[in-house]
Amino acid sequence: MAYDYLFSDFNIGNTNIKNRFIVSPMTRVSAEEDGLANNRMKEYYERFAKGGFGTIITEGIYFDESHSQGYDNQPGLANDKHVQAWKPIVDAVHNHNTLFIAQLMHAGGQSQGNAYVNETIAPSEIPPKGEQLEFYGGSGPFPTPESMTKQNIDDVKRAFVNGALHAKEAGFDGIELHGANGYLLDQFLTDYLNHREDQYGGSLGNRLRLMLEVINDVRQAVGEDYIVGIRISQIKVSDSKHKWQEGESSAETIFSKLGETSLDYIHVTDGNGTAPAFGEGTKTLAKAAKDYGKLPVIANGKLGDPETANNALHQNEADFVSLGTSALANPDLPNRVKKDKVLKAFDFKSTLLPIAYVKDHELNADIVE
């Protein structure tokens, strides 16, 4: 079969997945004001399942009625009403033999919309670089966050656990911890955002501490048979050119430590998933994760071309590919590839502007089943 690697099955943990195509998490600000998932979101996610994707990872979901929310109209898993609202969406995805993973996101200092509190919290009183994203409802520079106390850190760890338990109750097959793109766990990891002088700051090992503790706490809560993964990046929403301070040496430390945990997979995202991540002649971020983490790896970043994606798997750069804009343009991309249909080009303006909510034309377009 053409693209044989993409259409082969593979395991994450004890779960067998029908192919290597994954829908990447993408913020779509289409929930209700109180964070309730709704029927528009059900149609949106079910289209990817109908279209042949083996796995879907949700957009980032906030998980407490405190500081975790990052955007207005972001969906939540912070209470029982949120759990109940997700259940019909989970069922619709499962009806197509598609794995469904909830991404748990704490925005930290990168929050630009929160229904519960006015202030933001972060490792240190340092705002993210750049300005808020207008197509997610923000404007102007990010506010200066409050430096987190030890009590704040303990509260965040408990909230991650509660979010994971809520995801399990809603029927999701697993959770992905958002440790990428400049959100809270990544803020602790980032040297210029973390100036703490306690056990959570300073050395790279200390800056990894919260991430590792959250992984351990979540695993203990959800049990051994529930999928727990993490998303990691160098780049950030507000700093697309950021690189880890010690390059591949930092990657070796980060991925080795993650590989020693109970994680089931590592999901990496880069501007170009097939490009050297640490300078000319170095590994891709996905290959670094595979070599040092020794866990199943999901690669993300300009992998919508099936030949490019299949080659990445064939060359053992990754085990899965997650698709963002390519999936938005082609919610039926796996079926299109299998049936040798032309792939559509992504239209940024019509899909994400002026606000990145799910548009009617996305739900009404025909898909290949």
Closest C-alpha to 105, from 46, 49, 187? 187
User: Could you tell me the two tokens for 212?
Assistant: 């590792």
* Dist. CA 320–CA 300, nearest whole Å: 9
Q: How far apart are the first and last CA of the chain?
A: 19
Catalytic residue among 44, 183, 200, 292: 183
3-state secondary structure the chain: CCCCCCCCCEEECCEEECCCEEECCCCCCCCCCCCCCCHHHHHHHHHHHHCCCCEEEEEEEECCCCCCCCCCCCCECCCHHHHHHHHHHHHHHHCCCCEEEEEECCCHHHCCCCCCCCCCEECCCCCCCCECCHHHCCCCECCCCEECCHHHHHHHHHHHHHHHHHHHHHCCCEEEEEEEECCHHHHHHCCCCCCCCCCCCCCHHHHHHHHHHHHHHHHHHHCCCCEEEEEEEEEECCECCCCCCCCHHHHHHHHHHHHCCCCCEEEEECCCCCCCCCCCCCCCHHHHHHHHHCCCEEEECCCCCHHHHHHHHHCCCCCEEEECHHHHHCCCHHHHHHCCCCCCCCCHHHHHCCCCCCCHHHHHCCCCC
> Is 5 among the residues known to form the active site?
no
Q: Residue 48: CB partners within 8 Å, gap ≥ 6?
A: 23, 56, 93, 98, 327, 331
Residues with catalytic function: 183
